[in-house]
Amino acid sequence: MKAGRLLVIVAGVCICLVLVYTIGLNAISSVEYNRADAETKNATTSTATVAKTPVLPALDKAAYDAKLLALANRPRVATSTGTSTPKAASTTPKIYLWPAKAPYPNAGALLPFKRIVAYYGNFYSKGMGVLGKYPPSQMIPMLQAAAAEWLAADPTTPVVPAIDYIAVTAQGSAGKDGKYRLRMPDSQIDEALTLADQVHGIVILDVQVGLSTVQTEVPLLAKYLAMPNVHLALDPEFAMHGGAKPGTVIGSLDATDINWAANYLAKIVQDNNLPPKILVIHRFTEEMVTHYKQITPLPEVQVVMDMDGWGSPAKKNGTYTRVIAPEPVQFTGFKLFYKNDLLAPSTRMMTPSEVLRLAPAPSFIQYQ
């Protein structure tokens, strides 16, 4: 009886050992399977990430130089062969300011091979530009039509539509921190990204610092600026000094502020393996940008000085030739106002063909 009971106990222990071994084996197998599965997923994700990073063709420097020379719109004279050449110099050689001297950009640069046509504004305000004045169902076709006009005026330069959204707006009231600016919520910037996707274009985040600083406001947009299709604009008009409220006097930015922003963008480009960023600077007076000669374009950042003045064609032409053209940085822009360009005594807006005759021809067009 005791022997039989002993056999039963031994058999039970053996069964338990078998079960423990089997369960342990299954557990190890499960762990190994999950690890292998995770490694496979990681490998797939890594491969997908690499696949999503396009291999950009190297910059064609000869084509780049030729495009810049064409944009310069230098005076030309006819030759005996019927062709045209740059106007011959007199006894005193003519010194041309354009093309501006700047480093060649990294691969994938938009300018000067493309022309950007942007719609500007803020979704909360009908008075700040077309982005807030019209619903997307109306605004998007308008932007597409404007882009088509520019392409028709210059078929040699493809057009990239842009949503130029004021992500930090100057305010008439101080706010809790006394900085006279309001930061837009992520939901509004996300809407700008959605609209840009609809037109297969880019986003430009415009910053009006008020009594804050470029160094404070720009880094708060870092997660968006790390996206390949998001660029930056700074508006010196609303960069205030000495405690003045926005709108009471015209503000200004110095080359040190602009260079800080350019270097910040360059670091983002380097860290994320991105094509060059565009940095737009608004300007309609000389005093709005100080020490312009010290502004330093970088291979990772293309700087656009944007003529932001409004009025009649003659007035706008004068502002461009007095403020933008004589102080070359790298590229130029030109703003057109659907409302203010028609205020008396002006009777019409400038046409794309008229703007393209400016010297240099702008690579960035902005509609407000």
- Sorted by where each begins, the domain ranges of the chain are 111-367
CATH topology for the 111-367 domain: TIM Barrel (3.20.20)
Residuewise pLDDT in 10s, the chain (368 residues): 444 443 333 344 333 333 333 333 333 233 222 323 333 333 333 333 333 556 778 899 999 999 999 999 987 554 455 555 555 555 666 788 999 999 999 999 999 999 999 999 999 999 999 999 999 999 999 999 999 999 999 999 999 999 999 999 999 999 999 999 999 999 999 999 999 999 999 999 999 999 999 999 999 999 999 999 999 999 999 999 988 999 999 999 999 999 999 999 999 999 999 999 999 999 999 999 999 999 999 999 999 999 999 999 999 999 999 999 999 999 999 999 999 999 999 999 999 999 999 999 999 999 99
What predicted TM-score, i.e. pTM, was given to this entire model? 0.82
Q: What is the 3-state secondary structure (H, E, C) of the chain?
A: CHHHHHHHHHHHHHHHHHHHHHHHHHHHHHHHHHHHHHHHHHHHHHHHHHHHCCCCCCCCHHHHHHHHHHHHCCCEEECCCCCEEECCCCCCCCCCCCCCCCCCCCCCCCCCCCEEEEEEEECCECCCCHHHHCCHHHHHHHHHHHHHHHHHHCCCCCEEEEEEEEEEEECCCCCCCCCCEEECCHHHHHHHHHHHHHCCCEEEEEECCECCCHHHHHHHHHHHHCCCCEEEEECHHHECCCCCCECCECCCEEHHHHHHHHHHHHHHHHHHCCCCEEEEEEECCHHHEECHHHCCCECCEEEEEEECCCCCHHHHHHHHHHHHCCCCCCEEEEEECCCHHHCCCCCCCCCHHHHHCCCCCCCEEEEC
